[in-house]
Amino acid sequence: MQKRKLGNSGLEVSALGFGCMGINHSYGKGIEKKDAIILLRNAVERGITFFDTAEAYGPYTNEEIVGEALQPHRKEVVIATKFGCKNAIPTAGLDSRPETIRTVVEASLKRLKTDYIDLLYQHRVDPNVPIEDVAGTIKDLIQEGKVKHFGLSEASAKTIRKAHSIQPVTALQSEYSLFWREPENEIIPTLEELGIGFVPFSPLGKGFLTGTISANTKLEDIDRRNIIPRFSEENMKANQVLVDALSELAKQKNVTTGQLALAWLLAQKPWITPIPGTTKLHRLDENIGSKNIVLTADELAKINTTVNGITLVGDRYPEILEKQIDK
């Protein structure tokens, strides 16, 4: 597995990371703990060294699974987790008060079975707590050795600059894919200027870009995509044109649609590390295969031209979560 450095920080991770959320949270009931542990250890064996979790995934249980799975490999891997959701429940609101951050970190360390967190993200920007106070708290935790690197998630360029001036930001985690390209407008240029790495979540459009789900797919009742506007039956039918176009391009390259989407992301910048998630070993292998796909300048141009000609519909979050996005 090729390695990449997240910006100027020196933090080296596998070119593809592993988004752990879906193993037991958000996308249905997930898989059994023992199966999740086997899957994560298989990822390590295949060269993945970058694993992303959060206290809010579960809540709490995802960190416990990741901690147990990766404990035998702790020195070989980079573990990222997050703070910032009130009581670890995103829909309950935000809480990034310094005392809360410290409490969350201590609890996360225990669940992850470690004495340091490689990369600690603020899950969402808290409008009630100055970002300077948040960055200052992380700076103290770094000096204490409990945290190695500071990250932000779904933060605006303005917030990134403020935080970075207090404690250098190693990485920004935000949604970015052929299904959501808004970060290209202002975020990516800001990250490049400041030397900050980019970790795209939902690089496969929450599964939509794999071509394996459609408007006719029946999701489990507890699957959070049921409340995401982009996944309404009407919007999925309208957006299917994107998947159909990408599938045609993938066939020409003799790769899967998901692999094409990941290869496109990897080709954007050398400091971008996507974190696709899965619950299936064969999908893990499929995702990893994307790192060997080389897209020529002409192929990238063709993908961009195709996608730019398609208007996608539907918000990416329900209103209660959309309001939490820093703008």
The CATH number of the domain holding residue 280 is 3.20.20.100
Mean residue pLDDT of the chain comes to 96
- Which of the residues are catalytic? 57
DSSP string computed for 87-124: GG-GGG-B---HHHHHHHHHHHHHHTTSS-EEEEEESS
What is the predicted pLDDT for the residue at 19? 97
What is the predicted pLDDT for the residue at 223? 87
Q: Average of pLDDT values for 55-70?
A: 97
Contacts of 167 (CB under 8 A, 6+ apart): 135, 136, 138, 139, 142, 150
Q: Average of pLDDT values for 174-181?
A: 97
pLDDT-wise least confident of 142-156, 242-256, 313-327: 313-327
Task: Look at residue 27 and tell me whether its pLDDT is greater than 90.
Answer: no
**Among residues of the chain, what percentage have pLDDT more than 70?**
100
- State both tokens at 20: 């752990």
Instruction: Give the three-state DSSP class for 4.
Output: strand
Q: Average of pLDDT values for 135-141?
A: 98
Give the pLDDT band (50/70/90) at residue 95: very high
C-alpha pair distances (Å), 97 with each of 9, 19, 89, 133: 26, 26, 16, 8
Q: The domain containing residue 94 runs over which residues?
A: 3-204+269-292
Q: Average of pLDDT values for 136-160?
A: 98
Strand partners, 122: 83, 152
Angle at 177 between CA 229 and CA 46, to 5 degrees: 120
pLDDT digits (tens, 9 = 90+) for 212-267: 888 889 889 888 899 999 999 999 999 999 999 999 999 999 999 999 999 999 99
**Among residues of the chain, what percentage have pLDDT more than 90?**
91
Is the residue at 198 inside a domain? yes
Is the residue at 215 inside a domain? no
What is the predicted pLDDT for the residue at 221? 87
Is the residue at 249 inside a domain? no
Task: Look at residue 189 and tell me whether its pLDDT is greater than 90.
Answer: yes
Give the pLDDT band (50/70/90) at residue 280: very high
Is the residue at 264 inside a domain? no
Is the residue at 97 inside a domain? yes
Peptide bond before 59: cis, by omega within 30 degrees of 0? Answer: yes
Q: Average of pLDDT values for 301-313?
A: 95
Is the residue at 51 inside a domain? yes
Give the pLDDT band (50/70/90) at residue 279: very high
Is the residue at 163 inside a domain? yes
* Alpha carbons 75 and 210: distance in angstroms, whole number: 33
Answer yes or no: are the C-beta atoms of 4 and 201 closer than 8 Å. no
Is the residue at 235 inside a domain? no
Q: What is the number of domains present in the chain?
A: 1
Strand partners, 175: 201
Task: Look at residue 73 and tell me whether its pLDDT is greater than 90.
Answer: yes
What is the predicted pLDDT for the residue at 25? 85
What is the predicted pLDDT for the residue at 121? 98
